[in-house]
Chains A and B, each alone.
Chain A
Amino acid sequence: MANYKYHILICGGTGCRASKSGEIVQNFKNILKQENLDNEIQVITTGCFGFCEKGPIVKILPDNTFYTQVKPEDCEEIVKEHFIKGRKVTRLLYTDPEKKEHVSDSKHMNFYKKQMRIALRNCGFINPENIDEYIARDGYAALAKVLEQNDPQATIDIIKKSGLRGRGGGGFPTGLKWEIASKNPADQKYIICNADEGDPGAFMDRSILEGDPHSIIEAMTIGGFCIGATKGLVYIRAEYPLAIQRLQIAIEQAREYGLLGKDLLGSGFDFDLELRYGAGAFVCGEETALIHSMEGQRGEPTFKPPFPAQEGYLKKPSNVNNVETFANIPVIINKGWEWFSSIGTEKSKGTKVFALAGQINNVGLIEVPMGITLREVIFEIGGGIKNGKKFKAVQTGGPSGGCLTEEFLDTPIDYDNLIAAGSMMGSGGMIVMDETSCMPAVARFYLDFTCEESCGKCSPCRVGNKRLCELLDKITSGKGTMEDLENIKNLSQVIKDTALCGLGQTSPNPVLSTISHFWDEYVAHVVDKKCPAGQCKALKQYIIDPEKCKGCTACARNCPVGAIKGTVKNPHEINQELCIKCGTCQAKCKFGAISVQ
């Protein structure tokens, strides 16, 4: 068996392949064979490095040399210089655009710094079921620091100055929230962790709880100390059994170490945690609904004020923060607010975790500094659109957010910019759509979700969203009228204006944003009775090209509803009234005579 000294990793992603990375692989193999090095150096094709704009990429291990824009003819030079003479090929090394220096170690390249892991710092690093590994990575040091300093206001000030804002969607300044709760005197207060993650496709909270549960325990204890709460509650959805299990193990371990319980670290401060299970209702992510649910009441929101900081769980002052928000706290305390506030944009500090999904190559969980552009996220980190299709829109903020088009790709992502663009940060769902996505259908999908998840308390959300959904149904099934479009616009505006809670107020966002950015597509459904993306089944038409049809009868024989008529050797025809648009005929036609319109 060979024992290779070097490995040549060549990017085999779509982008690099297009710029001849296949040829490069072949060249390397040939040259190495010629030079008799094929037993010492191995050539490997890897997945996308995500650095397509500088492709093709060649990485040499173990010295981490990173060559960019390599051409097939460069292979010989690399082999001779790098491997035989031991000198790097400087002209191919990556140049840091800011420092204008060649960088060879891929770990130090800017591209790799596009992501920055603060909230996810320990996820994928430590064993979440072992408190020692958390402590080894400075776990509970922030708590110790806070307790030793024994000045809740000073800690609140740090969080305030850090500029940390709620990561659950609203973006309310966390430090300010803590300060308000700390100033309401009461015999008992509560600090609550909102782990009722409900946005379709978003799972950063689950990942944090599964990968780094102690960071939440530590942060909640710090929060409890700051606002004067000796009890913490984690409201977690019962559909997250592993997160629950890991959190329970972590709580037990923290108690054994005396990091939960009485007299923490000799400070005299008592704090303990309990779990409360949610039954998976989206609206229970709204803090007043969450509190009602924890109390055993129906999970529905109530008007604010009173805010939870005044009257929360069991009518006591309570502070609710989301999992990701908490995950940031210990780092801010350990590394200082100055460090944290140096990351991000003017009004949005730090990082945000996004769940990248949809028609994108690298679906996954990413954490990026605020201010990064959608383009960087989608095309660099996400590896671009699947199958080389064209980018159409990106949906952020889940069912409360909106769809953003190409014109927003270079907008820096932060709370305020997203709202200004007609979407929102939300909890960080990011769904990328390509040209085959039908926007009215996308809006309908989200509305369907909101209808399902509405608590039914206020009329605009209970009835209004249902009607909105029905109207979108009409549009996508080709039965809509221009008046329906006007009604959709008015209704969306009224729901936004009148619904009781955040869920209802933001529920028309997917509709409003697609209407404003893709008006033509709506009109096409209504006036031309066509779905430009070819997604809306009711608007599809299968048509046989009489020129190409040989009259083989395969389509007619396979049509499940007998909608195709014709005689042998004569062109066939599809009865559109009967056609159920199943596509069988197209699949069966050997002559490519059937097309969709």
Chain B
Amino acid sequence: MGETNMDMIKITIDNKVVEVAKGTTILKAAKDNNINIPTLCYFELAGMDIVNKPGSCRICVVEVEGRRNLAPACITECTPDMVIKTNTTRVLNARRTVLELLLSDHPSDCLVCPKSGDCELQNLAIRFGIREINYVGEQSTYKQDDSPSIHRDMNKCIMCRRCEMMCNEFQTVGALSAINRGFTAVVSPAFEEDLTLTSCTFCGQCVAVCPVGALSEINHTGKVLRALNDPTKTVVVQTAPAVRVAIGEEFGMAPGTIATGQMATALRKLGFDYVFDTDWSADLTIMEEGTELLNRLKKFLAGDKDVKIPLMTSCCPAWVNFFEHNFPDMLDIPSTAKSPQQMFGAMAKSYFAEKKNIKREDMVVVSVMPCLAKKYECSRDEFKVNGNPDVDYSITTRELASLIKLANIDFAALPESKFDDPLGESTGAGVIFGTTGGVIEAAVRTAYEIHTGKKCPKIDFEELRGLEGIRSATIDFDGLPINIGIAHGLKNARKLLEEIREGKSKFHAIEIMACPGGCIDGGGQPRHHGNSEIIKARWNAIYEADKNLPIRKSHENPSIIQLYKEYLGEPCGEKSHHLLHTHYFNKHNVFEVDLNKK
């Protein structure tokens, strides 16, 4: 197709003759000529291998001369001498009628909808000036489905199929697909069962792309507010690396603004007793995971055939769910190190609680995460002591923003402040956990120096950075070449896992993140509505934040050094093993359905 794509063709769009490359869709041609055609089901995250164009909502229809019916602009390619009209009355009437149809089967409870104000359907209704719906009738009703991470209200589903595309094509999870037909068609797990019965990883990418309020996070802001209001509780908060580079967007700040200081101030204003940082426990993760890697490598290089190489990172909870469901035969390959969220919870409710003499049940640990799977992760039984979870509530970047708005805090105008000590001190290595390739780069910075005993000649490993789905690099550990693989998107993770299963993997260590670009585009982040520039801005901000920090290697974090000295002893030691490592479960499930139920 290469050479034909280069061919330019002439088209007429809204009476203007323009040249476009062959293969250009009408939508793209219009956009390039400053003609704005409304869309709804169409979704694209440029450069991320994510595209949804089923051509099904029919909002983007345009008139093409010589064509019997209207053409969907998002999927119709321009042909030579095509004459396109994007704004005829026939087009406007059709678009408006189609929108009215969609609205006629959509609850109008916008006031209490989790998507209100950020809803693409609502925006279209405003843009089209809908004041009444001419076509009223029966509305579809489906059961509400709550899982630990995701709330599904399919009465609001408009069948754009974006979630289905993310779940099946980008993540290859296959928990969601269209079921039923006609008016009752909806996206759902098979047999309209609950999400918890499927192999859903709770990555939340379905929520991230849903244009309406059909898919949303389980909201914990109410519970957090009550904990803050309870004088008997000490409420401790931790904030994940990717939150600080995105939260500003919720307050009108430019994408890529690093708002760490404002965020710390806001959290204090909200009444959190201790404002800590997940970057701190990210540094701790590097110590444990890096040591585990070196231990395995040592045995491997010594010819031990039982040792599992490559080591795979385990900080992404959706990825953990993914291999527990899909690769139960390979549970010994990922690192046993807990994720930074859980390491933080474990340390807060042991080391810090003991230090401050707070009883475990009197401490509430809240995490602010760019992620929905973290909600599920902190509810896992193995992360509880006598039923008391290490992390009580995990809220998303969006939920934190809503709390800040609730508290009438003018976020952008806030003075900056620092995290509290000792669980708030962190390095640049902790920050880069927020994007794909960051965990492994942080690990390399530390593992190199521990393994060689020498100072690493560089800190920035550009070869590990980027946004391609699968990347690889070989890092020279002073004469020992270490092969590193990186994947984001579970589709790509699946490829690397299958290579390992077939014995074809050349890697010593692999980093996996479930979401596109890593945590910066997690399911709990402010919505990008398909603008991949926003994700790139956050990506840049992560590395900028790394650069801005005085210490950029985890093993040089004074608080971490102190922690090992005072409490843990050594990385991968006995106490670490008990508090900072976990194990995995075979979750390969057989979906049982009682067909007589309905």
Contacts and interface: CB of A to CB of B under 8 A. Distances in A.
A456 B135 contact: no
Interface stretch (A192-200, A498-506, A579-587): A498-506
B134 A456 contact: no
25 contacts: A298-B177, A298-B178, A303-B72, A454-B181, A454-B185, A457-B56, A458-B56, A459-B159, A460-B58, A460-B101, A462-B159, A463-B104, A463-B105, A466-B137, A466-B138, A466-B182, A467-B135, A491-B135, A494-B94, A494-B97, A494-B98, A496-B69, A499-B58, A499-B69, A505-B69
B38 to A, nearest CB: 13
Contacts of A490: 93, 97, 134
Nearest 7 A/B pairs, CB to CB:
A456-B185, A463-B101, A454-B182, A470-B137, A467-B135, A494-B97, A466-B183
A500 B70 CA distance: 10
B537 interface: no
Contacts of B69: 496-499, 505
Contacts of A499: 58, 69
B61 interface: yes
B247 to A, nearest CB: 35
Most chain B Cβ neighbours within 10 Å, of A452, A453, A464: A464
A456 B61 CA distance: 18
B83 interface: no
Contacts of A459: 56-59, 98, 101-102, 158-159
A464 B55 contact: no
A347 B229 CA distance: 81
B417 to A, nearest CB: 49
A494 B57 CA distance: 13
A466 to B, nearest CB: 4
A447 to B, nearest CB: 11
Most chain A Cβ neighbours within 10 Å, of B58, B77, B184: B58
Most chain B Cβ neighbours within 10 Å, of A281, A283, A303, A459: A459
A451 interface: yes
Nearest to A450: B182
A451 B57 CA distance: 17
Contact of A454 (B55, B102, B183): B183
Contacts of B55: 302-303, 458, 500
A459 B137 CA distance: 15
Contacts of A463: 101-102, 104-105, 135, 183
Interface in A408-446: none
B138 A500 contact: no
Contact of A462 (B70, B76, B90, B183): B183
Most chain B Cβ neighbours within 10 Å, of A465, A470, A500: A500
A212 interface: no
Contacts of B295: none
Interface of A: 281, 283, 298, 300, 302-303, 305, 451-460, 462-467, 470-471, 487, 490-491, 494, 496-500, 505
Nearest to A487: B134
A456 B93 contact: no
Interface string B492-515: 000000000000000000000000
A465 B138 CA distance: 12
Nearest to B178: A298
Contacts of B177: 298
Interface in B232-282: none
A460 B181 contact: no
A465 B58 CA distance: 14
A470 B101 CA distance: 13
A471 B98 CA distance: 16
Contacts of B57: 458-459
A71 to B, nearest CB: 55
A462 B182 contact: yes
B191 to A, nearest CB: 14
A464 B101 contact: yes
A456 B97 contact: no
A468 to B, nearest CB: 9
B101 A500 contact: no
Contacts of B135: 463-464, 467, 471, 487, 491
A455 B182 CA distance: 5
B54 interface: yes
Contact of B94 (A300, A454, A471, A498): A498
B181 A497 contact: no
A498 B182 contact: no
A453 B181 CA distance: 7
Contact of A456 (B104, B137, B159): B159
B402 interface: no
Contacts of B76: 303
Given A456-B159, A463-B183, A305 B58 contact: no
A460 B98 contact: yes
B185 A457 contact: yes
